[in-house]
Amino acid sequence: MAALTLLAADGSLSDAALNDAGAYGRPSAPLQSRVAYAAAHVVPRVSADNTPGQPADIDWDATLAFRRNVYSWGLGVADAMDTAQRNMGLDAAATRELISRSAEVAREEGGSVVVGVNTDHVVDSRIPLEQVIDAYKEQLHFTEEQGAGPVLMASRHLARVAQDASDYRRVYREVLSSATVPVVLHWLGTAFDPELAGYFGADDWQTASAVLLDIIGENPDKVAGVKMSLLNAESEISVRAQLPEGVRMFTGDDFNYVSLIGGDTVGQGDNHSDALLGAFAAITPVASAAIQALDADDPARYLEILGPTEELSRQVFAAPTFYYKTGVAFLSWLNGHQPAFQMVGGLHSARSLPHLSRIVELANASLALEDPELALERWHGMLRLNGVEA
């Protein structure tokens, strides 16, 4: 039996038996019990200058093939989000092209795509609220023109200049009033972006969530859902219970998604959350199989399939959490979805070999390696290139 070589932080080596791939099949009909989006990343050209500070030079064939694979498993794609390295190597021009190309692929595949809308094309770090509103609207209208669903992301510009909750209410009111389709509101926590401290006008989630709910209540026809990425299940369950009818909760909690998505079905919390997760880009076949189990009214099978992946996700999203993208791209490479372990902005160097080794170990244990022999070959080759015999 083949064995994976694993590297510990103290330099010691160990072996783990290589598991077979999960026996998961693509769905024969659209998924029914949950709406699920995988927040996809971008693949750079191998020969590009993929170093810090350089513009993104994207391998469009590999990047779009990754999205087609997600659609083939019945999931939707969330694009141009933080997973795609916005503000960490993916520049404004590349973001616009990604949105346009991704929306075109969604039409071709009959899939659902939502994309991030932000203010990050503005170079100045501090701008007045009026310019924050205009910047949001510019990206919003571009997204609508492409036919993608808008996800109104948390804005660093807004966080820097907002004086109190009333400024958040004003900005969101004016931006939402100009939307021609309902949007998803994104609440990103400081684990992902420290610059967003105090978003919605308060540092504690209880006060901030009241502002968020007020914004939704003032614009009931303009909000399709909320994506919460605070890595705090209590806050998500609380907000979820207070959402108006018809507004979905999309979990962005890569630490606690199993119970949040399961909800009442698995005896955890009120109702359930849908999903908009970076983790689902790393474990797409497993996530699809788990939701298929819920469709078949088999919550025990859902837990059996998806439960083991949560420890893997916690490793991928371990502190400093904003480097989680490295783990997503690493698993994409191990699973054969890109030719090299490279990332725009040089972020393939953002995690240590022992950290990546633990990802390999947990991906193997949770049956998230789609082609185990290929993953072993690539991982062992990477170890040897770094002076570790495998």
Q: Read off the tokens for 101.
A: 């190309």
Whole-angstrom Cα distance, residue 257 to residue 84? 20
Q: Which of 28, 20, 33, 30 is nearest to 290 (CA)?
A: 33
Whole-angstrom Cα distance, residue 282 to residue 348? 15
Condensed to tens digits (0 to 9), the pLDDT of residues 61-98 reads 999 999 999 999 999 999 999 999 998 999 999 999 99
- How high is the pLDDT of residue 272? 95
Residue type, 45: R
Condensed to tens digits (0 to 9), the pLDDT of residues 293-348 reads 999 999 999 999 999 999 999 999 999 999 999 999 999 999 999 999 999 999 99
Condensed to tens digits (0 to 9), the pLDDT of residues 188-205 reads 999 999 999 999 999 999
Condensed to tens digits (0 to 9), the pLDDT of residues 129-180 reads 999 999 999 999 999 999 999 999 999 999 999 999 999 999 999 999 999 9
State phi, psi for 386 to the nearest 5 degrees.
-100, 15
| Residues whose CB falls within 8 Å of the CB of residue 91, separated by 6 or more in sequence, listed in order | 55, 56
Condensed to tens digits (0 to 9), the pLDDT of residues 17-70 reads 999 999 999 999 999 999 999 999 999 999 999 999 999 999 999 999 999 999
- How high is the pLDDT of residue 326? 98
